[in-house]
Amino acid sequence: MAASGQLAGRAPRTRPPAVSIPASTKRRKPILPYWCPPKKSHLPRAVLRWLLSMELTYYPKNINRDFSNGFLLAEIFSIYYPRDLKLITFENGNSIKSKLANWAQLEKFFSKKHFKIPKELIHGTLHSIPGVPEILIQDIYTLLTKQQIKNIQDSYVNFTDCNYQINLPLVLKTTASKFIKNNIRLSELLSNPNVLNHQLKINFLCLLQMLQRKLSRKLHPTWYDVKPTLGELCLGDVEKDSNLTKNALIKEKVVPVLVS
């Protein structure tokens, strides 16, 4: 009874008051110090509907991979030109031999029908260069349906990752060897064993990376701690002197007063 009286006499326990945490002390997601690459490689909705309406053998989920062998493009053209192109002669394979054979037949068909499709788009689609198959599909869409869409070619198109590398900080930029590896595919080396062409392309990529570094130094001088040269300092002093002389001449000008 005494114990029960002691329990009854105690005050009920209360929960501790909730302490509100200010928003400034909450953890926030870290912000990346560089820009992400622009998402310009997606097909428009009109082109996706067009691909769905034809009921192809398989729907392309990965554009770079599924259009590289040319089989789906041959199937699309065989729907529009069934007498000129037979799908039986094409092989749905991933080997370099089957890819080259399929694209050789497609190029003969393009020349027969006088379709002006750039060689760069065919080469980039064959070797699965990111962004190139989307441009080729959009060109074929406008060619077959006679409908105009906003193409990626309206803006500046570059088949390398140079635009992405410019905005990266110095730590995240690729080296020359990695830049060459990213922009030359193994299938290009196997399909074209000409060493001279590859050397010319490597020299071009090295020159492109050198220009990219110079441009990034101009755009972000604080990242590299760029100091002005002696010539730039002299030019800066000359500009200051010219501005001072211009101000002095303006002050010395006397406004004419009409005397009545």
Q: Is the dihedral of CA 32, 178, 198, 136 positive or negative?
A: negative
Q: Which amino acid is residue 89, in one-letter code?
A: T
Contact 117/110 with Cβ under 8 angstroms?
A: yes
At residue 32, the pLDDT reads 36
List of long-range contacts for 172-176, beta carbons under 8 Å, 24+ apart: 172/34, 173/216, 176/206, 176/209
- The span from the CA of 59 to the CA of 66, in Å, is 9
- Number of helices and strands in the chain (H, E): 13, 0
At residue 155, the pLDDT reads 47
- pTM over the 0.75 mark: no
- pLDDT < 50 regions, the chain: 1-3, 5, 7, 9, 19, 21, 23-26, 28-41, 153-156, 254, 257-260
CA-based nearest residue to 183, from 164, 167, 168:
164
Q: What is the DSSP letter of 21?
A: P
